[in-house]
Amino acid sequence: MFLIAIPQLGDPNFVRSVVLILHHDADGAFGLVVNHPIELTLGSFAREHAMPCHSRVKDVPVLRGGPVEPTRGWILHEDGELAEREDVLPGLAVSGSMESLTQLLADGTSMRLLLGYAGWGAGQLEHEMEQGSWLTVEADAKHVLVTPPTECWNAILREMGVDPTRLAIGTGIH
CATH of the domain at 34: 3.40.1740.10
Q: Which residues contact 109 (CB under 8 A, 6 or more apart)?
A: 57, 77, 78, 79
Quick check: is 173 in a domain? no
Domain with 143, as residue range(s), is 2-166
> What's the pLDDT at 168?
59
Quick check: is 107 in a domain? yes
> What's the pLDDT at 173?
39
For 42-57, write each residue's pLDDT tens digit: 999 999 999 999 999 9
Whole-angstrom Cα distance, residue 43 to residue 46? 5
For 58-100, write each residue's pLDDT tens digit: 999 999 999 999 999 999 999 999 999 999 999 999 999 999 9
If one counts the domains in the chain, the total is: 1
Quick check: is 158 in a domain? yes
> What's the pLDDT at 171?
46
Quick check: is 174 in a domain? no
